[in-house]
Chains A and B, each alone.
Chain A
Amino acid sequence: MDKKKIYSKWFLVPSMTVFTVMFVIPLILSLFFSLTVWNFDGFTFCGIDNFIMFFEEQSLRIGIKNTLIYAVLTSGLKLIISFFIALFLTSNIRTKTLQRSIVFFPNLVSTVAVGVVFTALMHPSKGLINKGLEMIGIAGPDWLGNPDIALFSVIAVDVWKGLSIATVIFIAGFMSIDKTYYEAAMIDGANFWQKVRYVTVPLARSSMNSVIILSFIGGLRSFDLIWAMTGGGPGFATDVMASIVYKQYAAGYYGLSTAGNVIMFVLIAILAFPLQKWLLSKEVE
């Protein structure tokens, strides 16, 4: 049987063409354009000036730091919280179908819509969150207006929205674990936490890795929630790489914007690829 004949390469051509023209070529061009001052009509070569500027300018450098904080915190929190939600939703409670649907729903609401609603809920004087805190005697902060906490407020909303998919992945992982492991553990006299520690955690490793990788990469790339809630402000307190790329583009500094884009690629390449490799190697053990 001639494999080359049945599985003709032509089947790959449509996808590869679109992908190459709209993704790969721009990717390669970005390496070049990041070394220039350019617009859509022409360019002047300027060496690595754009990158130097990125690391010298406080308002640009902060983007790298914020992106890292954002990615690490969102993926960590999603991992831990959704693990326990999934554990709860696979226990023998009665309303699990209803609760699963409720937890899942935010996944379908657009990020901008989530941003709009939470910006209102986090309003410093009228927002529901601070009203609630007032009732128990705590003066709530200005969640999105205070530069020290704004980033963390956005992170909290990102976690809120991202919990659903992470929970779904965990539920699937937990349900695929053979029941006999739990029975064996029970016979050996393991209590609930021991079962979680020695059966669930090791056997749900691949779901755990999916959650970490998905949310970590999502965190490094995130833009729309931040843009809808704070627009990078107050000041530059919540600017991440993706929002800087947009801001520099809007301001007409295309070279700087492209350099920001390239820095994003590098960040992802040096963080996410090794992370994935490492996680996969642990999975095999």
Chain B
Amino acid sequence: MQKKRNIRTWIGDIVGLLVCFFIFVIPFLFMVINSLKERREANKLSLSLPTKFEWSNFVEVFQTNDYQILTAFKNSIILTVGAVAILVFFSAMAGYVIQRRKDRPVKIANTIIMTGLMIPAAILPTIWVMQTLHIYKTMPGMILVEVALHTPFTIMLYRGFMSTIPIELEEAAYIDGCTPFQVFRMIIFPLLKPVTSTVIILDAVTIFNDFTNPLYFFPGNENATMQVTLYNYMGQFSSAYNLLFADVLIITIPMLIIFLIFNNKIVDGMVAGSVKG
């Protein structure tokens, strides 16, 4: 009986790994291998190893369009860091009060924000608003768009986590003479650390990988983000798969690093974030 079970789990392991390999690993390998081939060889789109490793592909991708990828990288980083920093700060405050207070105005605010979980952005009117405020095609404007679009999800995470923090702490601090903002800054915000790290990872990954919003709200060559650059290269490199894949790889590397460092945390965070929905 024991033996039979052992064999069965081994078969499970092997079948599972094989399926994983074919469905998930091969596309990735395919991209890595072809990014290192010489142009004509890469265009055959085969899975054979390169006859010669062309590391210069990566250099060439960097040099394309006057080092556009470096600008794009800078833009993506500023956008991600800026938006995530604002999101953490604003949403933690909002989630805190929404969870603690259940009166009518707060409930209404909550309902309004939560519609954003389902309803997509009204794109052209958003551009119109941004133009009216003179922030269209600017980095601050783009950051605000990302903040607005990720606010519902982020507040939801904070609101969910707040319910695990005992209310007595705040009351004690308040009686000791803290102002409401001090209570938040010195007592609550430090206690929110676990969910804050989840928020940072989840929002950073989605904002860094966002393609649609920069496409609409942040057009122009000097404004390109990593994802938009990749999209533009699709047209430009249509007959040079080696460069296209090298670009994909360069774009994926930051996320790969985050993945290797925070592997378990990301999975836990995803779970916490999605299940509470």
- A interface residues (Cβ-Cβ under 8 A, vs B): 1, 3-9, 11-12, 14-16, 18-27, 29-30, 33, 40, 88-89, 91-95, 98-113, 116-118, 120-121, 123, 126-128, 131, 160, 165, 168-169, 171-173, 206-207, 210, 213-214, 217, 221, 223-224, 227-228, 242, 245-246, 249, 254, 257-258, 261-262, 264-265, 268-269, 272-273
Contact = CB atoms under 8 A, between A and B. Distances in A.
Contacts of B157: none
A26 B122 CA distance: 6
A9 B110 CA distance: 12
B144 A91 contact: no
Contacts of B123: 26, 245, 249, 257, 261
A109 B255 contact: yes
Contact of B277 (A8, A210, A227, A265): A210
A40 B127 CA distance: 8
B125 A258 contact: yes
Contacts of B171: 1, 6
A19 B103 CA distance: 20
A217 B118 CA distance: 7
Most buried by A among B26, B86, B148, B231: B148
B93 A18 contact: no
Contact of B126 (A18, A26, A104, A121): A26
Interface of B: 9-10, 12-13, 16-17, 20, 23-28, 30-31, 34, 43-47, 86, 89-91, 93-94, 96-98, 100-101, 103, 105-106, 109, 112-113, 116-131, 133, 144-145, 147-149, 151-152, 155, 170-171, 174, 180-181, 183-184, 205, 208-209, 211-212, 215-216, 226-227, 230-231, 234, 241, 244-245, 248, 251-252, 255-256, 258-259, 263, 266-267, 270-271, 274-275, 277
A126 B48 CA distance: 13
Contact of A117 (B12, B27, B151): B27
A112 B97 contact: no
Contact of A93 (B16, B30, B147): B16
Nearest to B254: A108
A91 B10 CA distance: 12
B274 A116 contact: no
Given A127-B45, A245-B123, 13 more contacts: A7-B180, A12-B94, A16-B94, A22-B130, A22-B148, A91-B9, A111-B209, A112-B227, A117-B248, A121-B27, A128-B45, A246-B216, A273-B118
A116 B234 contact: yes
Nearest to B175: A1
A126 B212 CA distance: 30
Nearest to A248: B124
B100 A7 contact: yes
Contact of B251 (A1, A92, A113, A261): A113
Nearest to B117: A217
Closest 5 A/B residue pairs (Cβ): A22-B148, A30-B122, A26-B125, A110-B209, A29-B125
Most buried by B among A7, A14, A262: A7
B122 A258 contact: yes
B271 A15 contact: no
Interface SS of chain B: helix
Nearest to B11: A93
Contacts of A24: 112
A128 B47 contact: yes
A22 B126 contact: yes
A106 B24 contact: yes
Contacts of B209: 108-111
A14 B90 contact: yes
A109 B251 CA distance: 9
Nearest to A228: B231
Given A172-B271, A210-B275, A95 B120 contact: no
